[in-house]
């Protein structure tokens, strides 16, 4: 993997060879720990485990230079079955028409607009179910 070609890696084994990606992984783990997202525990005999994977992205500045390397640890939720692992789902998403309306209002009223990138976001709710995840490297 050549960092000069700005290729986003697909596997953990590709990533650990490069300091910039290892720092991104450490940042993600630190954020998850500081937000008390999980705790390490033994898997009870009557529980199933879901996997996870690392997703790696290069974030660019407006003019194309690299801003930062971003690593996300994501659960493979598609392996879960409704009624067994969870009961409800909720995913708030902004509609494009709402975004267009807000930008139009900002233009009309000469409001200042600012853009930001959320470093880490979490569901604002308590899970009733326990979810057990195993970290597999590749």
Residue 62 lies in a domain: yes
Q: Give me the number of domains the chain comprises.
A: 1
Say if CB 59 and CB 51 are below 8 A apart: no
Tell me how far CA of residue 111 lies from CA of 100, 116, 124, 126, in angstroms. 14, 16, 29, 36
Residue 90 lies in a domain: yes
In angstroms, rounded to a whole number, what is the distance separating the alpha carbons of residues 14 and 102? 41
Is position 115 within any domain?
Answer: no
pLDDT of the chain along its 138 residues, tens only? 444 457 788 888 888 889 999 999 999 888 888 888 888 889 999 888 888 888 999 999 888 899 999 998 888 877 666 776 666 666 667 889 999 999 999 999 999 988 776 666 655 566 677 788 887 666
Residue 17 located in a structural domain? yes
pLDDT value of position 122:
59
Q: Are strands 52-60 and 66-75 parallel, antiparallel or unpaired?
A: antiparallel
CA nearest neighbour of 113 among 124, 105, 123 = 105
Q: What is the largest CA-CA distance in the chain?
A: 61
> Residue 137: its pLDDT value, please?
66
Two tokens at 66?
A: 């690299």
Domain limits for position 78: 3-108
The predicted pLDDT at position 76 comes to 80
């Amino acid at each position: 993997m050549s960092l000069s070609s700005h290729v986003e890696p697909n596997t953990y084994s590709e990533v650990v060879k490069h300091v910039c990606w290892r720092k991104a992984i450490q940042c993600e783990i630190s954020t998850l720990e500081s937000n008390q997202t999980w705790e390490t525990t033994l898997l009870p005999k009557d529980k199933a485990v879901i996997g996870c994977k690392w997703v790696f992205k290069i974030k660019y500045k407006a003019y194309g230079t690299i801003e930062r390397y971003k690593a996300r640890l994501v659960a493979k939720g598609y392996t879960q079955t409704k009624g067994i692992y969870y009961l409800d789902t909720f995913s708030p998403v902004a509609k494009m028409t709402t975004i267009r309306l807000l930008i139009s209002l900002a233009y009309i009223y000469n409001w200042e607009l600012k853009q930001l990138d959320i470093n880490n976001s979490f569901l604002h709710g308590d899970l009733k179910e326990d979810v057990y995840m195993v970290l597999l490297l590749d």
